[in-house]
Every structure is written in C-alpha cells, then in structure tokens.
Structure 1
C-alpha cells in the first residue's frame, strides 16, 4: 500500500509499505476513504515531537470501510466487512478505569510505549494513531489501509446517507474544539476569546456559538483566517495591528473575557515582542520544547476568576510561565488530548440537524501523492490554505 511517511524534519514522502493485517482478535483493518492533514501533524513535520522514526506512517484524522475484522471486534463491536466507520485519533480499550469514565485519551491499555511517556510525564496517556513512539508507535491514517487496534471500542459507525466530508472531522478537530469550549464552561451570555483561527480555533468558535456564547473574539494575524472567523460570527482581533490585551480591554470595558482558549499550542508566534524572540532562541538551542507566547497572553487577558482552556498541543517544558498572574487572578486551567468518543453523539446530532456544516473548513483537496506538497502549503499558509482533505 501507499502511505505518507516520516523521513525527518520537513521531509514527508509517499512510500510503499506492506498491507496491514489482523494481529489481535480485537483488531480491524480498514480501507481508508478520506483522511486529513491536521495542525498537530505539523508539530512532527517541524521537528517538535520526539521519538519519531524514519518510516513512521503519519496521520490521525481518517475514516474508511472495514475490510477485515478480528473475532472479538466483530462480536463485541458489532463490526463486519463493509461497515463505514470513523476512527477517533485516541485509541481506547474501553474497559480501564479511565475509559469507564469516558476519559478515553487517558486509556491505560492502548499505549505500547507507556514507560517512555511515564518517564516524561509521571504517568502515560493513551495511544494515538500516527503520533510518535511516545504514544504507541501506531501507523497513522494517511494511507490506503490501516490496522485499528481495540477496534470494537475505537470506532464510530457512519449513519446512512452521510458523506465522508460531513463527518470526517468528528475523528479529531470538531470534538477537540467542542471539548475546549466545554472545558471553558462556555454558556449563554459568555464572552470568549480564542487564540488561533486555524481548524481547531474555528471549531472552537462554532462550538462556543452552539453553547450560546454572546461575544466571541478570535485572535490571529492571517487575513483569510480572520475573515473566515468574521464571516462565522466572531469579532476578529488582528494581532499584527493591535495588542490583543489592549484591544480586549477596550472592547469589554475593562472586564476582559472570562473564558480564554489557546487553540495554537507549542508553535505560537509573537509579533516582534521580546518573549517571542526569547522563545525562538530557546527552542532553536533545545532549551525549551515549545513557544508559549499565546498561553502567556491568554493568562494575562483572562478575567479574574476565569478559565483558560488549552486544546493546543504542548510537549515537555516551556519557560517564563506567568504562574504569579494565574495565581493572583484565581484562574482555572483545563487541558488535554480530546476524549473523542465522549462528544461524538452530540456533535453528530448538531450536524444532522443542520446547526453546523463542518465542510465549511475545507479549502484544499488532493490524493495521497499530493501530500508532501500540500503539507508545505498548509504549514506556510499558502493559497489561503486552512484545511486539507486527502482521498487515497
């Protein structure tokens, strides 16, 4: 089969790999019909995620048709050949203490490299598709075929009559945006500020609207992304022209947003400010594993007693964290990988009832062979690129 493959920083290629097969009775093998390039994939493309190896297959947003199914997956998961299924990027055993609480990304059983991650974090979280050998080293979904472990619990069936592009983003970015808004306890009448108008940020925006927020500010500096946010009901904040703190203070009459969402994560860029320069030097010399400019700004901009929600990915350590400001203002932090299956039913209802159409996000489409060029287009935000969908 053909698959998008890691060969080093900035070097993804489409290579030939052996077709996957059933390795465990709970496995299934699917033929991928749609897959997508995610902002989290760029963290590997840009060299920020450790434990990547040459030959690793990339991708964690994908869906397809069941080609083979192990006996336990067939029985417990009611799976059969020909079923159309979505695959959440978080691999869940379904039976550990965390899965029983529907905190699926914290699964105790799915990470084959748990000891490595536990050394870094104190405890290991669950396995992820296509996301390094800290998270199980599982082959990803930017491929023609994928083996799905724990397939009886790690899948969602696609309702009849729904196209791939209507539901594909339920595998990651729509639930990620929704969980960020839920973690921020967004509700009717709230004022929210979202940093990042990329795919996750825009789904944060849609989720905040669905939850009844009154005012939603979106901070970014990419014109076409800010325009999309504006068109979808946000008040855009162009950080290349204004300081977000000053803008938000004036716009809210000094109260500031009580719900702040960092949808950017470890590759944030400042606008010539000193902390951004500092972060660039520290990451270039491997003294820091991320650039937390947005996180610092969200803390400073958040109202006293407010909540900072972090769907943006961070890895290992960051520097100059304003813990004093967070403490003095009594802020609450909520963060973590998304518990995809916890949210899919409610989001599927929103899609079926026409309250949101996830296809608004798609700007580029291609085949697997187009992936290397489209990765560069997506990373560099060329050609107004916001979201890429690939069809193997």
Structure 2
C-alpha cells in the first residue's frame, strides 16, 4: 500500500509499505478514504516529540471503509466508519470511567498516555491513517459507523479536531455568562471557541498572530479577536478587556511550538530537553482571573520547564488537561450537527491527494495560502 512515512525532522514522503495485518481477533483493517493533517502532527514533523522513528506513518484523523475484522461484532465489512484518534480497550480501570485517552492496556508507556494512531512510539507505536489502509485495534469499542445523513468530511473532524475543541471547553467548566479566552486560532482553538457558546459562555475572545486565522475566528466562532503582535503585552490587553480581573476560563490551544525565547526554542525544538515552549501556557495562567480555570489542549512533550507554578498556586487556579476522550463527545456533537448548529467541515480549507501529502505538510506548517486545515484524499468512498 501507499503510505506517508517519516524520514526525519521536516522530511516525509509517500512510500510503498506492507499492508497492515490482523494481529488480534478484535482488530479491523480499514481502507482509508479521508484523512487530515493535524496541528499536533506538525510537532512530530518538526522533531518535537520523542521516539518518533524513521518509517513511522502519521495520521490520527481517519474515516474509511471496513475491509475485515475476524471477531469484531459491532462492524461489518463495507461499513463506513469514523475512527477516534484514541486507541483503547474499553474495559480497564480508566476506560470504565470514560477516560479512553488514558487506557492502561494499549501502550507500554501507559503511565503517561494511552494509545494514539500514528503518534510515535511514545503513544504505542501504532501506524496512522495517512495511508491507504490502517489497522484499528479494539475495533468493537473505538470506531463507529457513520450515520447515513453525516458527510464523511464532517465525520472526519469529529475524530479529533472538533471533538478535542469541545472537550477543551468542557474542561473549562464554563458557567453561564463566563468570559472565555482561547489562545490559538487553529482548528482545535476555533472548535473550542465555537463550543464555548454551547456551554454558556457570555463572551469569547480568540488570540492569534495571523490575520486570516483571526478572520476565521470571527466568522466561524463568532468571537472577538486580539492580534498578538498589535496589542503589545497580551496579558495586559486581556486584563484591560476584562475589567482588570482576568478571564473566567482560558484555553491553551497552542501547545509546544508557541514562539518563545531563543533558549526555549533551542532546548525544546533542537535539543529536545523540554517538551516545547511554555509561553502560551504561561500567558493562559497570567490571563486567568484568580480562582479561574485553565484548560490545556495544546500538545506538549513529557517535560515542560519554566511553567509558572507559583502563579497557579497563588491565584488559586484550576488547571486541567488531557488528550480528549473523543468518542465521549460524539453523541452531543452529532446532535448539534443534525440540528444545523455546526458544520465541522467548514474548518477544512485545502485538499491534497495522498501522493502530495508532503506539500500538505509544507503549506500547513508554513501557514501558506491562508491554510486552516488540510484534508488528505486517500481513496474512493
């Protein structure tokens, strides 16, 4: 089969790889029809995440058609399915509590995180779906048949980006009338901003440094916006905008690659001595009011230094973060889609065939052509 493969930082190509095989009776093989490039894929692409091995296939946003699953009971060959980025067993201590992203049985490094499709050996070493076929473990509990009324490209955004954004808003415990600030107007930040309204926000402010993404925040998320480079001190600007109290809820949808100091860039991106720059997280901490909540959606490596722990303690902040338990968000999001409240595929701005996926990474990573999120067309539906 054809598959995207990692050849080192900033180097990917499409190669022929062996087709995936059934390794356990509850596996399924899914023929991929649509995939996407996620902002967290860029952390892998840039060499930010540990134990990303040569030859690994990325891609954790996947829809496709079931080809085979020997003892799978919930799916049949020919079913059109959406595959959550989480790989989980459905029966361990954490899965029984709905913490699918923290499954204890799918990753040798499970003390830190569960399994994720196509996200390095830190998350289990599973090949991802930027390929013609993908092995899906625990197929009875992860993937779901796509409702007939749901377009595949809307389903694709539920496999990570929109579900993660919705989860980030949930983590904020937004109360009626709260002011919510979102750092980062990428797909996940835009989804979080839009979702904040569903959970009762009275005001939503999105911060970014790119005009076209801020315009998308105004159009898609109905948010106020602040341009990072036009307001001077962003924390002071947000304090002024909130009566010098700070926001009730702040969502960090930026993560490891926020622009930081030269030292942070060298130690994080080059030497990998920390999990990226904590600058966006520190802005979130400083922008929250005393007693407020910080919700972390941005992806970080295992070590992030220079986080303002003293400010968290002294301000009495609640800080919450996790990989989103994607499937838990689907029932409510499907209701919103069916009611016409949201159309997640509006976040997709570019389409590339699998053969041109290197160009997709280049355009997305370099913020070219007003790219919000690239779709990868893999096969016929």
Q: TM-score by structure 1 length? A: 0.93
Residues 52-71 of structure 1 aligned to structure 2 (within 5 Å): 52-71=52-71
Contact 1:29 1:66 in 2 (8 A): yes
Q: Within 2, Cα distance between the matches of 1:218 and 1:143?
A: 34
Give the corresponding residue for 2:306.
Answer: 320
1:213-240 CA-to-partner distances (Å, cap 9, x unmatched) read: 1111111101100111122311111111
| From 73, 78, 85, the counterpart of 1:82 | 78
| From 160, 181, 186, the counterpart of 1:198 | 186
Residues 14-29 of structure 1 aligned to structure 2 (within 5 Å): 14-29=14-29
Give the corresponding residue for 2:113.
Answer: 125
After superposition, the Cα gap between the structure-2 partners of 1:286 and 1:87, relative to the gap in structure 1 and judged at 3 Å, is closer
Query: Is 2:234 the counterpart of 1:241?
Result: no
Give the corresponding residue for 1:163.
Answer: 151
Give the corresponding residue for 1:46.
Answer: 46
Shift of 1:247: 1.4
3-state SS of the aligned residue for 1:79?
coil
Give the corresponding residue for 2:13.
Answer: 13
| From 225, 228, 232, the counterpart of 2:216 | 228
Contact 1:102 1:341 in 2 (8 A): no
After superposition, the Cα gap between the structure-2 partners of 1:321 and 1:191, relative to the gap in structure 1 and judged at 3 Å, is same
Unaligned runs of 5+ in 1: 271-275
Query: Is 2:262 the counterpart of 1:277?
Result: yes
Q: Within 1, Cα distance between the matches of 2:44 and 2:129?
A: 15
Q: Within 2, Cα distance between the matches of 1:310 and 1:107?
A: 19
Give the corresponding residue for 2:106.
Answer: 110
1:89-141 CA-to-partner distances (Å, cap 9, x unmatched) read: 00011111111111001101111xx1xx36xxxx2421110011111111100
1:135-187 CA-to-partner distances (Å, cap 9, x unmatched) read: 11111001111111100111111001321112111111111101110010113
RMSD: 1.2
Shift of 1:285: 4.0
Give the corresponding residue for 2:161.
Answer: 173
Unaligned runs of 5+ in 2: none
Q: Within 2, Cα distance between the matches of 1:105 and 1:83?
A: 24
Give the corresponding residue for 1:33.
Answer: 33
Give the corresponding residue for 1:91.
Answer: 87
| From 251, 254, 268, the counterpart of 1:264 | 254
Query: Is 2:204 the counterpart of 1:219?
Result: no
Q: TM-score by structure 2 length? A: 0.96
Q: Within 1, Cα distance between the matches of 2:76 and 2:252?
A: 40
Q: Within 2, Cα distance between the matches of 1:162 and 1:171?
A: 13
Shift of 1:318: 1.9
Q: Within 2, Cα distance between the matches of 1:332 and 1:353?
A: 33
3-state SS of the aligned residue for 2:62?
strand
Q: Within 2, Cα distance between the matches of 1:180 and 1:160?
A: 28
3-state SS of the aligned residue for 2:331?
helix
Q: Within 1, Cα distance between the matches of 2:19 and 2:79?
A: 19
1:315-344 CA-to-partner distances (Å, cap 9, x unmatched) read: 122222211111110001100111111111
